[in-house]
Amino acid sequence: MVLACSALKRRYRDVLRQGAPELRLIHIDGSRALFAERMAARQGHYMPASLLDSQLATLEPPHADEHAITLDARASPESLAQSALAQLHPSRSTP
């Protein structure tokens, strides 16, 4: 199952892990400029670009003990998905 949510703070992620101890986090890391550019290009999204700065200020990047997979936001969505799957299921990745 895939659940997409911001879970910007460690304590939010801790609550999620309480309900699902095997939970794996995927943290997509990027610059403010990149996120602003992408937000400006999308239409009809529920989150306005005006919230970007507060979201980034609130963000507590995952710590090593959270065993998050960190991916580079500069990659395409397809590449991000492939990278996430390869790290979640290394035995299934294509050589």
Where do the domains of the chain lie? 63-95
Is the CB of residue 76 less than 8 Å from the CB of residue 31? Answer: no
**Mean pLDDT score, 42-66:** 87
Q: What is the mean pLDDT of residues 66-88?
A: 94
**94: confidence class by pLDDT, cuts 50, 70, 90:** low
Beta carbons of 24 and 88 less than 8 angstroms apart: yes
Q: What is the pLDDT of residue 95?
A: 54
Task: List, in sequence order, every residue forming a beta bridge with 27; answer none if it has no partner.
Answer: 70
